[in-house]
Amino acid sequence: MSNKSLGNPFDAESSLAHTASCVCAVCKSELQSGEGLSDRDRQILMERQISDQESVRHTSSSAATETFGSSEDMMDRVVENAIVRGVFGHNDASRRNFIRLVGGGTLAAALGTMIPMDKVKAAVKDAIGPLEKTKLKVGFVPITCATPIIMAQPMGFYAKYGLDVDVIKTAGWAVARDKSLNGEYDASHMLTPMPLAMSMGAGSTATPYIMPAVENINGQAIVLHNKHKDKRNPKDWKGFKFGVPFDYSMHNFLLRYYVAEHGIDPDKDIQIRVVPPPEMVANLRAGNLDGYLSPDPFNQRAVFEKIGFLHVLTKDIWEGHPCCAFACSEKFSTEMPNTYAALFKAIVDATHYSHKAENRAEIAKAISPKNYLNQPEVVVKQVLTGRYVDGIENKVQDVPDRIDFDPFPWHSMAVWILTQMKRWGYVEGDIDYKGIAERVYVAAETGQVMRNLGYTPPESTYKNYTIMGKEFDYNKPEEYINSFAIKRV
Amino acid sequence: MSSLAARSALVSVCLLVGLLGLWEALNQPPTASEALTEFEILMGGVDQEARVPPPSQVMSHAWHELSNPFYDAGPNDKGIGIQLAYSLFRVLTGYVSAALVAIPLGFIIGMSPLMHRALNPFIQVLRPISPLAWMPLALFIIKDSEQSAIFVIFICSIWPMLINTAFGVANVRSDWISVAQTHELSQLKTAFLVILPAAAPTILTGMRISIGIAWLVIVAAEMLVGGTGIGYYVWNEWNNLDLNSVIFSILMIGVVGMALDFALGRVEKLVQYKE
């Protein structure tokens, strides 16, 4: 009758049928009562077995008595089993005959071409575990870096994973940090250096934070006021006032790196001020700033308003640099694991969707309204599609990877950020570079989520970079810091 | 003297029309003669410089906003009526709790020279602190941005009420208190039946100053913590460099502030007395 054993479905010797000697809870229960269970009762017993992580043993075959390493593995088997059983019309004898004939591997490969096993498995696992909380608040600062976090709301990525998320606009990162620390936000859009700084207690009280996903790579620019069109060489920038969005930002570290490579000391020769991104353009117009390294759309907006021009895109400083991130407290991830997992998946899914160039125009339309970025669509579209004007040349530029989206949080990126925090004196003393990187940037989990969604994460979590022609070796952070002429250590 | 009133009104209207007309005339956007090329669209049109929007644009925008003041299109996009309601709620909550603390405390300070001398140094140090300077500390301690904003209103509106109450109470004519004493009224009865009515106009003046300050501060506080309220509305439109909406919200802030002041002015008139 019923075929619900968890034997290997690709093994001709294992039976998927429950036999008289079977000791699984369903069979035992049926044996005791002397009658078949209703479908509902059977379902409840099966689920209980799975959730107890107790391996379901069917004693009819030795191959079926294997134990599973985790409930995930067991679920994988359940899914394979169900599909194979379905293919053979629930006739176990014909399944075993077929496998004897062609081999289990052939069957698995043949099925794999027809049915996306990984996706089915992921879909089934998604359904596991009730969400502890479905109504969430996620903070964002209105910039294009936050695209996946924002567009996941109007374009239904949160809803897809059973979440009802309010994305709340926040005036700047100091407020985003404080609202995250005091628990008003369940998770928030942050800058990649922020969770590192918060976990170390630099600039705030030390609270363990984790960063499950990077949002965007590239996508920033150095903007100068139009009156400086003749000062394209950074050596002429002495006395300039620059805006960056936050102390612990890639913007600050990239601007410092860029000018220092040109022999300008960012603490002595120029002034760097923290200005929330939305206030950048107004300050540039008022002459409070000579330029800024800021997130878009405020770089493009300066061109649109005919106040400034794009001096250099940050992708030309460090191709593929990380920028913004999705972060939450460690507490949230441990207290509400299912909600966290669903949110995490929604974000990674949305990030991959944003990565595809053909979706960018549609996303620009979705996130431009008042409830989200509150910007003219034509500005946001220039940023996301990379078809833009730079305010210098009299033609339209085409740089499709001006901004890109890639969720993988490389540990080597964290190490680089930590070297810069130490280089400029934001942190002092000995730093356990890799230890902090691996604790805050949960790359293994990100990899797992990417795999579940059918994407391929990178093999390793570290790699070396070349930034403006200078090598960065993640194994030698201290030597890297010492190799700079301009530094605060 | 109705002719004077009429003439002054006429001058006011002429001034308004003249100023608006000048503003309108100086800020006409150039009309594009041909269809824009892609480059021109990406550059934000042919207009060489951004300009202040003319009053006709502001007024049509105001009409648009005011015709649907209570729409709610998500957590970051609500109508002007809802935003003003949020701000008013914060101001009134902070203001009323400040009054509940300031007026009794002011009585104590005013009636007791000892307490006056003891508390004066604290008041003098705390009073000049800009209310917004409390914000980071409030966010850290209270751990809630909504209550932090209310706390900032509380702290800024407490001082004028406290000082005015203390001043009013201390300066009640001594012969009135002597009369109360000869009638053997208790301390409490003296406070309520003699001192309170006598000091009421001064106290109300303090309250009127406080509500004005509270309304000034809420805009700045909401620009800082964001989320909802008229301050957030201004900030959100500033992000978008949308001066139409900024001018419109400036006008709305002015109108509401005037209404608050007018209301307290009426109450003040009720407690006035002639000696």
Q: Is B71 among the domain residues?
A: no
Q: Which B residues, 108 through 137, put their C-beta within 8 Å of a C-beta on chain A?
A: 136
Which residues of chain A neighbour B237 with C-beta distances below 8 Å?
A: 374
B38 touches chain A (CB under 8 A): yes
Q: Rounded CA gap, A200 and B112, in Å?
A: 51
- Best residue in A149, A155, A184 to probe B by mutation, most B CBs within 10 Å? A184
The neighbouring-strand residues paired with A223 are A292, A310
* Amino acid A174: pLDDT: 80
Could you tell me which chain B residue has the CA closest to the CA of A303?
B43
Strand pairing report for A470-472 and A187-191: unpaired
User: What total of structural domains would you count in chain B?
Assistant: 1
* Amino acid B258: pLDDT: 93
CA-based nearest residue to A228, from A216, A220, A239, A214 = A239
Strand pairing report for A324-329 and A187-191: antiparallel
Residue A350: exposure state from Cβ atoms within 10 A (0-12, 13-18, ≥19): buried
In eight-state DSSP terms, residue A64 is G
Token digits of residue A418: 């930590």
Q: Which A residues, 263 through 282, put their C-beta within 8 Å of a C-beta on chain B?
A: 278-279, 281-282
Q: Do B42 and A395 touch (CB under 8 A)?
A: no
CA–CA distance from B41 to each of A150, A478, B30, B46 (Å)? 26, 49, 15, 8
Residue B73: exposure state from Cβ atoms within 10 A (0-12, 13-18, ≥19): exposed
* Amino acid A285: pLDDT: 87
CA-based nearest residue to B137, from B156, B121, B151 = B151
Residue type, B90: R
For residues B131 and B137, the answer to whether their CB atoms sit within 8 Å is no
Q: Rounded CA gap, A407 and A343, in Å?
A: 13
Q: Do A369 and B240 touch (CB under 8 A)?
A: no
For residues A328 and A188, the answer to whether their CB atoms sit within 8 Å is yes
Q: Rounded CA gap, A359 and A101, in Å?
A: 47
The tens place of each residue's pLDDT in chain A, 489 residues long, gives 334 456 677 777 766 665 555 555 555 665 565 555 666 666 666 556 555 544 444 444 444 445 555 556 666 777 777 777 777 777 777 877 878 877 777 777 777 777 766 666 666 555 557 888 888 888 888 888 888 888 888 888 888 888 888 888 888 888 888 888 888 888 888 888 888 888 887 777 778 888 888 888 888 999 999 888 888 888 888 888 999 988 888 999 999 999 998 988 888 889 999 888 878 888 888 888 899 999 988 999 988 888 889 999 998 889 889 888 888 888 888 888 888 888 888 888 888 888 888 888 888 888 888 888 888 888 888 888 888 888 888 888 888 888 888 888 888 888 999 899 889 988 888 888 888 888 888 888 888 888 888 888 888 888 888 888 888 888 888 888 888 888 887
In eight-state DSSP terms, residue A52 is T
Q: Rounded CA gap, A84 and A86, in Å?
A: 5
Q: Is B138 among the domain residues?
A: yes
Q: Is B5 among the domain residues?
A: no
Q: Is B46 among the domain residues?
A: no
* Amino acid B176: pLDDT: 87
B45: left (phi over 0), alpha (psi -120 to 50) or beta: left
In eight-state DSSP terms, residue B35 is P
CA–CA distance from A462 to each of A413, A416, A438, A448, B8 (Å)? 8, 11, 10, 17, 78
Question: Domain range spanning residue B96?
Answer: 79-175+201-271
Q: Rounded CA gap, A370 and A382, in Å?
A: 18
A111-A117-A123 Cα angle (round to 5): 145
* Amino acid A392: pLDDT: 85
For the domain that residue B139 is a member of, what is the CATH number?
Answer: 1.10.3720.10
B236 touches chain A (CB under 8 A): yes
How many C-beta atoms surround the C-beta of residue A431 within 10 A? 20
Q: Do B41 and A396 touch (CB under 8 A)?
A: no
Q: Is B260 among the domain residues?
A: yes
Q: Is B161 among the domain residues?
A: yes
- In the block, which residue shows the tokens 């991830």? A333
For residues A160 and A126, the answer to whether their CB atoms sit within 8 Å is no
CA of A316 to nearest chain B CA: how many angstroms apart? 22
The tens digit of pLDDT for each residue in B189-204 reads 888 888 888 889 999 9
Size of interface A-B (CB pairs under 8 A): 100
Q: Rounded CA gap, A416 and B270, in Å?
A: 69
Residue type, B114: L
The tens place of each residue's pLDDT in chain B, 275 residues long, gives 568 889 999 999 999 999 988 888 887 766 655 666 777 777 776 665 666 788 888 888 888 888 888 888 777 788 888 889 999 999 999 999 999 999 999 988 988 889 889 999 998 999 888 888 888 888 888 878 888 889 999 999 999 999 999 999 888 888 888 888 888 888 888 888 888 888 899 999 999 999 999 999 988 888 887 678 898 888 888 878 888 888 999 999 999 999 999 999 999 888 888 77
The tens digit of pLDDT for each residue in B223-269 reads 887 678 898 888 888 878 888 888 999 999 999 999 999 999 999 88
CA-based R_g, chain B, Å: 25
Coil/strand/helix, residue A19: coil
For residues B186 and B166, the answer to whether their CB atoms sit within 8 Å is no
CB neighbour list of residue B52: distance below 8 Å, 6 or more residues apart: B23, B27, B243
- In the block, which residue shows the tokens 């150095």? A222
CA of B97 to nearest chain A CA: how many angstroms apart? 24
What domains can be seen in chain A, in order of their start residue? 25-126 (no CATH), 138-489 (3.40.190.10)
Torsion angle (degrees, nearest 10) of CA A257, A258, A262, A263: -30
Coil/strand/helix, residue A18: coil
CA of A195 to nearest chain B CA: how many angstroms apart? 18
Phi/psi at A421 (5° precision): -60, -40
Query: What's the sign of the alpha-carbon dihedral A302, A306, A311, A315?
Result: positive
Token digits of residue A321: 């640099």
Query: What is the end-to-end Cα distance of chain B in Å, rounded?
Result: 30
Q: Rounded CA gap, A450 and A464, in Å?
A: 22
How many C-beta atoms surround the C-beta of residue A414 within 10 A? 28
Q: Is B36 among the domain residues?
A: no
A401 touches chain B (CB under 8 A): no
* Amino acid A37: pLDDT: 60
* Amino acid A61: pLDDT: 41
Q: Rounded CA gap, A375 and A373, in Å?
A: 6
Q: Is B34 among the domain residues?
A: no
Which residues of chain A neighbour B151 with C-beta distances below 8 Å?
A: none
Which residues of chain B neighbour A375 with C-beta distances below 8 Å?
A: 239-240
**Helix or strand holding residue B265 (H, E):** helix B243-271
Q: Rounded CA gap, A351 and A363, in Å?
A: 11
Query: What's the sign of the alpha-carbon dihedral A281, A282, A286, A287?
Result: negative
CA-based nearest residue to B166, from B102, B101, B107, B120 = B107
CA–CA distance from B255 to each of A140, A336, B82, B156, B258 (Å)? 32, 47, 16, 21, 5
